[in-house]
DNA sequence: GCCTCGATCGTCCTTTCGGACGATGCCGCG
DNA sequence: CGCGGCATCGTCCGAAAGGACGATCGAGGC
């Protein structure tokens, strides 16, 4: 019997997962969590075989799904974590894998893919949705760009429509510095204007 | 007994909804649909009391949830349509209401809100999630901006990072014209830069 | 200890943007 | 028929953005 913990902020999705797994004789949902913190607590208390973890936890997110994954994987004798989410942006996938997830599934996956992934995870194998697997390969081919946290901070303000001088004021640096950051961002993203940078960053999942 | 049709592309969500409504003695799910076209077909065939309709139907969307809503409401003796979606952008809400939806719910709503909304809809009342209701009021206060199709076309290219002259070339007009369109867009959106315009348009659901 | 990288600041110069005018033609609505 | 909205084009000008240098300082890795 594979013991499962489900972590998702949508009651509907939780009900759906429980219903699905209820049809499988070898799977048992032992707890459900609506927040990342609850998820960590459940994992610690129930000591399940697999945790199904959403990445997006509503706006009141104290902790993220990635952070919860990291903390669960840091427990002693940690359960395997399967990430189950709507989006498949590069940043999300990489982040989740780095945090120790052993699989990454999309919510629109057919149910049999889901149950198969759970069984694979419980057996210690990694399970990636086909879409995700091919995306990961793409990522390997075209090595990923990573912006520094400061650069992301600048880009977020630019994306909100701020001018260089406004960004400078908000970050308590000179306008020159902002322009310098932007120049680096442009070269990393291979673009040549602020608007194109915002667009590229969104496409790559650096910005939401 | 209230007869329901569920339309959502996520098998998990469908399972969750079926499980939830299975707990209610007066609600019965008579059919489920994974695409908008199926939803219309189900509504016609089963003649239910209420249709629960998602708005986002995966990338292979031949028809949209809004379009399906419109077509269902155009049937003779049409069922009430409750929109159930993840996002609450202004454009989506307005679009759904115009298409004839009698309610608009978010997927992270608590289950009791959901069942209450279904019963309200079946009784011919409109049910809006509190979040949505207040957002609609905001919309009334600040009358909504509408960009012309040409303006949207320009803004899309700008959002992709094109410069004024590049946009001009792509649309076979002069750069002056592009600047003129942008000036109108700025005034409608109450911003003063292209990047801010893109950001505002995204927030208002004009751009995706 | 050196080297790289990120963050910070500077100057000079060119290009691009955006604001402020004005003008024309078309179309739909009352 | 006039009026307003839309799309189109134009000029002039100041402000913002971006490119091309160079430079310092601290943290972290080999």
Distance A56 CA to D26 C1' (A): 36
DSSP 8-class letter at A41: H
Q: How many CB atoms lie within 10 A of CB B102?
A: 23
Nearest nucleic acid nucleotide to A166, CA to C1' distance: D16
pLDDT score for A136: 61
Instruction: Give the tens place of pLDDT for each residue, A70-86.
Output: 889 888 889 999 988 87
Q: What is the mean pLDDT of residues A54-68?
A: 75
The per-residue pLDDT for B26 is 94
Percentage of chain A with pLDDT > 70?
Answer: 85
Sign for the pseudo-dihedral over CA of B111, B13, A126, A140? negative
User: What pLDDT score was predicted for residue B65?
Assistant: 82
Average pLDDT over residues A127-150: 65
- Chain C nucleotides with an atom closer than 7 Å to a protein C-beta: 5-11, 16-23
Top-confidence residue, A33 or B62: A33
In chain A, % of residues over pLDDT 90: 42
**A107 to chain B: closest CA residue:** B10
pLDDT at residue B204 in the model: 81
Instruction: Return the higher-pLDDT residue of A165 and A63.
Output: A165
Q: Is the pLDDT of residue B48 over 90?
A: yes
pLDDT for residue A90 is more than 70: no
B30 in A contact zone (CB under 8 Å): no
Protein-contacted positions of strand D (CB under 7 Å): 5-11, 16-23
What pLDDT shows up at residue A100? 81
Residue B143 binned pLDDT confidence (cut-offs 50, 70, 90): low
Instruction: Examine the pLDDT at B50 and tell me if it is beyond 90.
Output: yes
Q: Residue B202: pLDDT above 90?
A: no
pLDDT value at position A133? 67
Q: Give the per-residue pLDDT at B89.
A: 65
Q: Do A19 and B18 touch (CB under 8 A)?
A: yes
Assess whether pLDDT exceeds 80 at residue B5: yes
Q: Answer yes or no: do A195 and B158 touch at CB < 8 A.
A: yes
Inter-chain touch B20–A12, beta carbons under 8 Å: yes
Check if B11 contacts A (Cβ < 8 Å): yes
Residues lying close to strand C (Cβ under 7 A), chosen from 141-200 of chain A, are: 148-151, 171, 173-174, 176-177, 179-181, 184, 193
Q: CA A202 – C1' D11 distance (Å)?
A: 37
- pTM for the model stands at 0.72
Mapped onto helix, strand or coil, the DSSP state of residue B57 is coil
Long-range contact set of residues B126-133: C-beta below 8 Å, sequence gap at least 24? B126/B102, B127/B82, B127/B102, B127/B103, B128/B103, B128/B104, B129/B104, B129/B105, B131/B88, B131/B106, B132/B88, B132/B93, B132/B104, B132/B105, B132/B106
What pLDDT score was predicted for residue B102?
83
Q: Under DSSP, is residue B101 helix (H, G, I), strand (E, B) or coil?
A: coil
Does pLDDT of A124 surpass 90?
Answer: no
B9 CB near a chain A CB, below 8 Å? yes
Nearest residue to A195 via CA among B61, B47, B134, B154: B154
Count the helices and strands in chain A (H runs, E runs).
10, 6
Residue nearest to nucleotide D10 (CA to C1'): B176
Contact predicate A40/A57, CB 8 Å: no
Q: Where residue B59 falls among pLDDT bands split at 50, 70, 90?
A: low
Res B78 pLDDT > 70: yes
What is the spatial distance between Cα B95 and Cα B87, in angstroms, rounded to a whole number? 13
Do A107 and B197 make contact, defined as CB atoms within 8 angstroms? no
* Of B20, B5, B4, B13, residue with least CA distance to B86: B13
Reply yes or no on whether the pLDDT at B129 is more than 80.
Answer: no
| Averaged pLDDT, A19-44 | 92
Q: Round to a whole number and report the distance in Å from the CA of A186 to the C1' of D28.
A: 25
Structure confidence at residue B167 (pLDDT): 95
What gap in Å lies between CA A181 and CA A186, rounded to an integer?
9
Average pLDDT, chain B: 85
pLDDT in the model for residue B166: 93
Please check whether strand D approaches the CB of B180 to within 7 Å: yes
Each residue's pLDDT tens digit, B165-197: 999 999 999 999 999 999 999 999 999 999 999
The structure tokens listed for B41 are: 């077909």
pLDDT at A138 over 80: no
Question: A149-174, pLDDT tens digit by residue?
Answer: 889 899 999 999 999 999 999 999 99
The predicted structure's pLDDT at residue B157: 94
Higher pLDDT, B64 or B149: B149
Q: What is the 3-state secondary structure (H, E, C) of B115-175?
A: HHHHHHHHCCCCEECHHHHHHHHHHHHCCCCCCCHHHHHHHHHHHCCCCHHHHHHHHCCCH
- List chain A residues with CB under 8 Å of B194: 195
Q: What is the mean pLDDT of chain A?
A: 85
On the question of pLDDT at B31 being above 60, the answer is yes
- The pLDDT-based confidence of A61 (bands split at 50, 70, 90) is low
Closest alpha carbon to B206 in B131, B155, B139: B155
pLDDT attached to residue A89: 64
Q: Looking at the predicted structure, is the pLDDT value of residue B12 above 70? A: yes
Q: Is the pLDDT confidence value at A59 over 70?
A: no
The CA distance from B110 to B114, in Å, is 7
């Amino acid at each position: 019997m594979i013991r499962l913990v489900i972590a998702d902020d949508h009651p509907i999705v939780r009900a759906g997962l429980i219903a699905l797994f209820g049809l499988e004789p070898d799977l048992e949902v032992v707890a459900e969590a609506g927040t990342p913190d609850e998820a960590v607590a459940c994992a610690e208390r129930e000591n399940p075989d697999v945790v199904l973890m959403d990445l997006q936890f509503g706006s009141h997110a104290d902790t993220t799904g990635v952070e919860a994954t990291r903390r669960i994987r840091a427990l002693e004798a940690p359960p395997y974590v399967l990430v189950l989410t709507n989006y498949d942006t590069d940043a999300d996938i990489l982040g989740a894998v780095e945090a120790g997830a052993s699989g990454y599934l999309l919510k629109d996956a057919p149910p049999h893919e889901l149950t198969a992934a759970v069984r694979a995870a419980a057996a210690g194998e990694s399970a990636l949705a086909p879409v995700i697997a091919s995306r990961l390969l793409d990522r390997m081919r075209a090595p990923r760009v990573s912006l520094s946290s400061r650069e992301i901070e600048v880009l977020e303000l630019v994306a909100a429509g701020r001018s260089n001088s406004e960004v400078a004021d908000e970050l308590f640096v000179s306008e020159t510095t902002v322009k310098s950051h932007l120049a680096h961002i442009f070269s990393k993203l291979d673009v040549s204007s602020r608007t194109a940078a915002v667009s590229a960053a969104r496409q790559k999942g650096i910005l939401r």
